[in-house]
Structure 1
Amino acid sequence: MAKVSHLPGRAEHHWIWQMEAACRGLGSEAFFHPDGERGPDRTMREEAAKAVCAACPVRARCLEHALSVAEPYGVWGGLTAKERQPAAESRPAAA
């Protein structure tokens, strides 16, 4: 029998912010590039994704999540993976 007192407890606070995200219900293709996407097509998709993020009430939380898990793909919190890289590199290593 499991010792209930040793269970970690509720964890919904780690993701519940996503329920308020402006991107909720939009397809992931708006935020993650398909194989082979380059140049103007990629730029247009990323700019459209950033426009959604610009009006998002949980943008800061989304960006923090992407940085904390070192998300290597997609637009999160209004930044592409390449744009997040400097911020991710300056973060202290997780303990």
Structure 2
Amino acid sequence: MAQRSYVLAGIEGSPDRADLARLVEQLLAIDDVAFAEPLVGQFDMLITLDTQKPLETVVKRLAEVKPLCNLVPLKANPVPPRERMHRNIEKIPLKP
């Protein structure tokens, strides 16, 4: 069953807005990442995952993305089928 999980992450150094935008694009290119949002505070990034893979596997993949550091996986919830279906429908091309 698919699950939605959240991961808090720090960022090494002091990235500017352009660096953060590139990092968000890089994260969104990963299949399991549904959303990535920069934060202000103890952590620098909130990453939302929609995946059927074990959370530990996806977190290991995220740990390879630089400059992310100090990854903290949070709660994982099952995703209702209707939400998964909506996400898949968006990918189906429309016929003329």
Q: Which has the higher contact order (CA 8 A, sep 6+)?
A: 2
Same fold flag (TM > 0.5): no
**Which bracket does the TM-score occupy, shorter chain normalised?**
under 0.3
Task: Using structure 2 for the length normalisation, give the TM-score.
Answer: 0.25
